[in-house]
Amino acid sequence: MAKKSFIPPIGKKVTLDKYDPEYSDGDKKTAQTEIIKLQDRLFSLQERLYAENRQSLLIILQAMDAAGKDSTIRHVFEGVNPQGVQVTSFKQPTELELAHDFLWRIHHHAPRKGMIGIFNRSHYEDVLVVRVNNIVPEPVWRARYEHINNFERLLSDNGTRIVKFYLNISKAEQKKQLQERLDDPTKHWKFSSADLPVREQWDDYMRAFEDVFTHCNTEYAPWHIIPSNTRWYRTLTITKIIVETLEAMNPQYPQPEIGLDAVVIPD
Within a domain: residue 177? yes
CA–CA separation, 105 and 97 (whole Å): 6
Within a domain: residue 1? no
What residue ranges of the chain have pLDDT lower than 70? 1-3
Predicted pLDDT of residue 3: 61
- Is 230 strand, coil or helix? coil
Are the beta carbons of 229 and 172 closer than 8 angstroms? no
Residues 220, 23, 233, 196, CA torsion sign: positive
Within a domain: residue 199? yes
Within a domain: residue 266? no
- Which domain CATH number covers 129? 3.40.50.300
Type of residue found at 148:
I
Within a domain: residue 203? yes
Q: Which domain holds residue 230?
A: 16-249
Number of separate domains in the chain: 1
Within a domain: residue 5? no
Q: Could you tell me the CA-to-CA distances from 245 to 42, 88, 224 in Å, in that order?
A: 10, 20, 12
Predicted pLDDT of residue 263: 87
The pLDDT tens digits of the residues spanning 207-237 come to: 999 999 999 999 999 999 999 999 999 999 9
* Neighbour count for residue 224 (Cβ, 10 Å): 20
Within a domain: residue 7? no
CA–CA separation, 99 and 166 (whole Å): 29
Is the whole-model pTM more than 0.75? yes
The pLDDT tens digits of the residues spanning 75-107 come to: 999 989 999 999 999 999 999 999 999 999 999
Within a domain: residue 4? no
